[in-house]
Amino acid sequence: MLCTDKEIPAFISKLFMQVFAEPRKELFLKINDENLALSWFYENSDLNLKQGLEYLQLAKKEKFEDIEVDFTRLFLCDDYFLKAPPYASYYYSIFGDMISENSTKVEKHFLNSEFKKPFDALPSDSVANEFAFLAFCFENQKIDELKIFLKDEMLPYIFYFLNNIKTHSNTNFYRGFALLTENFMQIVQKELNIKKQKRAIHHKNTGN
């Protein structure tokens, strides 16, 4: 069981935090050269992870500059539309805001949990900060708090975010990580027996 070992899910959550926060050449090279943090996925290849791992194998042929460009068009800006906004507020707010009341709500949740978000320049409900909070909960075995946060905050929107990456990414690197993240979240949801809260999602698929 993944969630019974606090170190593995915390480590994986931190990996996703870094992947969705910014393109870092050091991390890119480590993943390509050492299969950093992917050993758990390979050992559990029966969990329909094959395609995601195949994409990351293909990503070894990609240049870091291509990853940077894809990160920008997916998560920061694009001539036509932002492909995969990495903010919960975008999916929950009527106007697709990057910062909203949801950001404030998550910030208060962090403060009450005595958690300091690692990316101050990003909204509290950015994907990177939320994965950092997951890692914090796993590390400190705050499972009840983790379940509430997943149920109320992350699970209602996260799969739309990941689907936008799968649809619009130009690199195998981000396609692969979208699939691995999707599988990880599905496993955590199943093991912790979480039924996500019904929340209005105003923006599901970008570009439509």
In which domain, by residue range, is 17 found? 2-191
The CATH number given to whatever domain includes residue 153 is 1.10.3480.10
Q: Could you report the per-residue pLDDT of 28-44, keeping only the tens digit for each? A: 887 776 555 567 776 76
Domain count, the chain: 1
Q: Give the angle subtended at the CA of 200 by the CAs of 199 and 205, to the nearest 5°.
A: 115
36 falls within a domain: yes
Q: How far apart are CA 21 and CA 150, in angstroms?
A: 19
Model's pTM, two decimal places? 0.93
State percent of the chain over pLDDT 90. Answer: 71
Token reading at 92: 């929950």
Is 31 contained in some domain? yes
207 within domain boundaries: no
Domain-located, residue 202: no
Up-side HSE of residue 30: CA atoms within 13 Å toward CB?
12
φ, ψ of residue 126 in degrees (nearest 5): -70, 155
Task: Among 84-88, 100-104, 167-171, 183-187, name the one with the lowest average pLDDT.
Answer: 183-187
Let me know if residue 197 belongs to a domain. no
How does pLDDT run across 153-176, given as a tens digit for each residue? 999 999 999 999 999 999 999 999
Establish if 200 belongs to a structural domain: no
Whether 158 is in a domain gets the answer yes
